[in-house]
Amino acid sequence: MEHLSVLTAPVEAPTTALGGAPGFVVELDAFSGPLDLLLHLLREEQLEIADIPIARIADQFLSAIHELGLNQAADYLDMASRLVRLKTQMLLPRRPEEDGWEDPRAELVRRLLEYQQIREVAVWMGRAAELRAEQHARGYLPPPPEVPPPPLKLDIIELFGAVERVLANIPFPVLHRVVARPLDVETATRRIEELLAGQEQIRWLDALGSRPTIVDVLSTLLALLELAKRGALRLVQPTPFSPMVIARDSARTTG
Amino acid sequence: MTPLAQLVEAALFSASRPLTAEELSTLASDASAADVRVALEQLREHYDFNQHGIELVELAGGYQILTRAVHAAALERAQFSVRAPKLSAATLETLAVIAYRQPVGRVEIEEIRGVSVGGVLRSLQERGLIEVVGRSEALGRPLLYGTTPLFLELLGMRDLADLPKAEELTIALRPHRAVAEGMDDAAAYVEAES
C-alpha cells in the first residue's frame, strides 16, 4: 500500500476552518468526493480495501462528514447512507459456505479500487500537464496588464482641503537637535595626574581648569572617581559642604 | 536543409496549432506524407544538432515547434510567457475517466468519481478539452463525451495510446464493463499490487 499512499498523499483532511461554514462544499481544497474521503480513512487506519470493517468505517465516515461540515453535500450523504445500509447487511446472520451468498461489500470494494485507478491516472495526467506547460508554442499572448485606476475627479477646493489634511499630519518641524558630546575622561585623568605630580594635594576647582563646561565637569568627576578606585589619589572632604580636597595617595603610589 | 524541410519549418512557424503530416504534405504538389516525415526528421535533427532554443515536438497527432523546457523559468521570469495554471483534482479525475472510458456519459463518470460532475463537464467543454461525441442508446439518450485534440496538446501526448497502460498502473485497470464478480476477484487485485 506504500506506493498508493504516496500518490494520494497531498490530499489531507483539513482540521480547521470548516466547522463554521455548514453547507460549504470543500471539494477543491479537501477531498474530491466521498470515495476520496473513504480512501483517506482507510489509509489512516491502514486497512485493506478488500476487507473493510464496515461498522467501524461507517461510523468514522459519519463523524468525518460531521466534523468537516460536509453534512449538506448530497454526494457525501449518499455514501453515508450506503455505508449505513452495508453496516446493517453485515449484521444479518449468514452462512458463508452457502452458495448464493455474496459479500455485500463487493460493490463498494470494486468502486474503491476503480476510483483508486482513476486517482493514479489523474496524478499521472497532472504531471504530464505540468511538463507540457514548461514548453511554449508560438503566438503566445501574455494576459493584458491590469487596467490603471481611472483619473481622479476633484475640484480645486477639494484639492486644497486634501493638501491641508496632509500638512496637518506632518509633525512640528525640528528646530534644534542636541548632539551628545562624548565625555573626555582620558584628558581629565592626564590633567589631574600632572597637577598631582607637582603638589601633594589640589582643590576640586583646580582640577576643573579654567572655564569648565558641563562636559568638562562630568569628565573630571569620572576621572577622579576612576583614579580613586585605582588608588592613585584620595578624595577628602574635611567638613560637610566644604570644598573637596584631592590628595595624592602617597602610601599606595610609593608602595 | 532540403526545400521541403524549409517549407515545413515555415508552416510550423506560422501555425498556432500542431499540424499533421498530411496537412503538411499539401505544401508542395509533389510531396507525399512520407516525404514530409523525412523533412520533419531533418528539421528535428537540425534543431537538436545545432542546439536551438526550440525543438520539434510530436503532439496531438501532429507536429509543433515549442520552446525547450530548460528555458521555461527564464521565459517566465521575463514575463514573455506564463506557465498554464495547474489543473484541479476534480478536473483531472473527470478527464481521466473520460480518457479511458470514452465515449462515456455523465452518469457513468459520476458513478466512478462518486460526485456530481455537471459543472466540471461544462467547464471542460468550454475549454475545449472534451466534446459531445454521440448519444447513448440508453433511456433518455444521454450525451456521450470524448476527449479532444486539445486535451492531448494540454498533456503533451501524441495520442491516447500515450496514457499509462493497465500494466503500468499500481492496480491494473479492468476491462470496460467488467464489473465485480465478487470479493475473490477484488482481493486478488489487492494481493497482486502489494
DSSP per-residue codes, A133-178 = TTS-BTT--PPPPPPPPPPP---HHHHHHHHHHHHHHSPPPP----
The residues with which B105 forms a beta bridge, in sequence order, are B144
pLDDT, residue B187, reads 41
Contact A243, A250 (CB under 8 A): no
CATH 1.10.10.10 domain range(s) in chain B = 3-77, 84-163
Contacts of B75 in chain A (CB under 8 A): 136
Rounded-to-integer distance, Cα B111 and Cα A111, Å:
8
- pLDDT in tens for each of the 255 residues of chain A? 333 333 333 343 443 333 434 444 444 356 788 888 888 888 887 777 777 888 888 888 888 877 776 655 777 888 888 888 888 888 777 666 666 667 778 888 888 888 988 888 999 999 999 888 888 887 655 555 667 777 777 788 888 888 888 888 887 766 777 777 778 888 888 888 888 888 888 888 888 878 888 888 888 889 989 988 888 888 888 888 888 888 887 655 443
For A70, the grid coordinates are: 460536509
Give the nearest partner residue to B113 out of A33, A106, A113, using CB atoms.
Answer: A33
Rounded-to-integer distance, Cα A172 and Cα B162, Å:
74
Residue with the larger pLDDT of the pair A147 and B181 = A147
For A89, the grid coordinates are: 447487511
Interface size between A and B, measured as CB pairs under 8 A = 156
* Angle at B193 (CA atoms; ends B191, B194), nearest 5 degrees: 70
Give the nearest partner residue to B179 out of A35, A75, A110, using CB atoms.
Answer: A110
Contact A248, A239 (CB under 8 A): no
* Confidence tier at B99 by pLDDT (50, 70, 90): very high
Residue with the larger pLDDT of the pair B188 and B28 = B28
Is the domain covering B3-77 a CATH 1.10.8.60 domain?
Answer: no
CATH class of the domain comprising B84-163: mainly alpha
Which site among B17, B52, B71, B92 would you substitute to test the A interface, given the most A Cβ atoms closer than 10 Å to its Cβ? B92
Domains of chain A: 2-92+103-131 (no CATH), 185-254 (1.10.10.580)
Give the nearest partner residue to B13 out of A4, A130, A138, using CB atoms.
Answer: A138
- Nearest Cα neighbor of A212 from A194, A233, A187 is A187
Give the nearest partner residue to B92 out of A3, A107, A122, using CB atoms.
Answer: A122
Contacts of A43 in chain B (CB under 8 A): none
Contacts of A75 in chain B (CB under 8 A): 114-116
Question: Element (H or E) spanning B57, and its range?
Answer: strand B54-59
Residue with the larger pLDDT of the pair B176 and A56 = A56
- Nearest Cα neighbor of B96 from A125, A4, A35, A31 is A125
- CB contact set of B57 (below 8 Å; sequence gap of 6+): A135, B63, B64, B65, B66, B156
Nearest-CA distance A170 → chain B (Å): 40
The answer to whether the CB atoms of B113 and A115 lie below 8 A apart is yes
Chain B 131-170, CB below 8 Å of chain A: which residues? 153-157, 163-164, 169-170
- Nearest Cα neighbor of A42 from A206, B107, A72, A31 is A31
Mean pLDDT of B33-56: 91
Nearest-CA distance A98 → chain B (Å): 14
* Angle at B6 (CA atoms; ends B1, B10), nearest 5 degrees: 150
Is A225 near chain B, with CB under 8 Å? no
The answer to whether the CB atoms of A118 and B111 lie below 8 A apart is no
